[in-house]
Amino acid sequence: MSYFTDLLIKRRSVRKFTDEPLTPEETRLILQAALLSPTSKNNHSWEFVVVEDKQMLEKLSHCKPTSAAFIAQASIAVVIVGNPLISDVWIEDGAIAGIAMQLQAEDLNIGSCWVQVRNRNYSETITSGEYINDLLNITVPLEPLCIIAFGKKEKERHPHDVNNLLWEKVHIEVFQPKE
């Protein structure tokens, strides 16, 4: 089995981190992975806001009512924003950069977890994106896609079991619906 396959099998979402900070080199390698990621027409419609300040991480952890609290315990969080005026596929460009960072983190044995922001709400009247824009001084036309939290893993998670892959989701030549 290839090293890349091993990396895919091992990578799991991690929401519990130790207090140990990332080294500057680890952070650089994670961000380098994002900057090396492919983009449509080589437009680079993404931008990355790196947050290390613990007070700001705490504020970011409130970007939506549930499922973002663990950001407060991360060593760093990277907010991926995109510019829809540069590319109509800024979402895809940002998502590719996000998984590149997560795979690089796993290669360094650093945990990570994606927090969906686009199309999510902070409250009944404020979107998660608006909350983050205000917090981090992100200006229009940039739109937050997600936040990825990174940190040293509190504990290892079991790798994916390749015997349980959903091969029924793969269709050859034509789509074949379930009966």
Residue type at position 76: I
Does residue 174 fall inside a structural domain? no
Does residue 179 fall inside a structural domain? no
pLDDT above 70 covers what percent of the chain? 99
Does residue 96 fall inside a structural domain? yes
Q: How far apart are CA 63 and CA 115, in angstroms?
A: 9
Q: Is the pLDDT of residue 90 over 90?
A: yes
| CA trace torsion 7, 10, 16, 19 (10° rounding) | -50
pLDDT tens-digit profile of 126-160? 999 999 999 999 999 999 999 999 999 999 999 99
Does residue 78 fall inside a structural domain? yes
Burial class (CB in 10 A: 0-12, 13-18, 19+), 179: exposed
Domain hosting 163: range is 3-169
Q: Is the pLDDT of residue 1 over 60?
A: no
Does residue 156 fall inside a structural domain? yes
- The conformation of residue 43, written as its DSSP 8-state character, comes to -
Does residue 123 fall inside a structural domain? yes
Query: How many structural domains is the chain composed of?
Result: 1
Does residue 112 fall inside a structural domain? yes
Q: Is the pLDDT of residue 2 over 90?
A: no
CATH of the domain at 155: 3.40.109.10
Does residue 175 fall inside a structural domain? no
